[in-house]
A = this chain, B = another copy of it.
Amino acid sequence: MRRIETQILNSLIESEKSFWELLDENKFTVKEFVAALNDLFRGGLINAREDKIYLTEKGLRQVNKTHLEFKGKICDKCEGKRIIFNGKFKEIMEDFTRITKNRPLPNANFFQGYMREQDVISRVALMHHYNDLAGKSLILIGDDDLLSVALALTDLPSRIFVLDIDVRLGEHIKGICKEYGLNIEFQQYDVSNPLPKELLSAFDVFSSEPLETLSGLKAFISRGVACLKENGVGYFGLSTAEASHRKWRAVEKMLLQMNCVITDIIRDFSRYRTLYETVNYEMFTKRLSFPVSGNPGIYWYKSSLFRFEVLGEPKPIIKPDKSIAIKYIDRRDDVTNPLLYSKY
Contact = CB atoms under 8 A, between A and B. Distances in A.
A311 B249 contact: yes
A342 to B, nearest CB: 32
Chain A's interface size range is 35 or more
A156 B66 contact: yes
A68 to B, nearest CB: 9
Nearest to A88: B69
Contact of A129 (B74, B154, B245, B311): B74
Contact of A71 (B76, B86, B155, B266): B86
Interface of A: 3, 6-7, 10, 27, 64, 66-67, 69-78, 80-89, 124-131, 133-135, 154-156, 231, 245-246, 248-249, 252-253, 256, 260-267, 309, 311
A135 B82 CA distance: 29
Contact of A83 (B3, B7, B73, B231): B73
A87 B75 contact: no
A70 B133 CA distance: 11
Nearest to A73: B84
Nearest to A251: B261
A145 to B, nearest CB: 18
B69 A87 contact: yes
B89 A71 contact: yes
Residue among A78, A80, A129 with most chain B CB within 10 A: A78
8 contacts: A67-B134, A70-B85, A73-B83, A78-B82, A246-B261, A249-B260, A249-B261, A263-B267
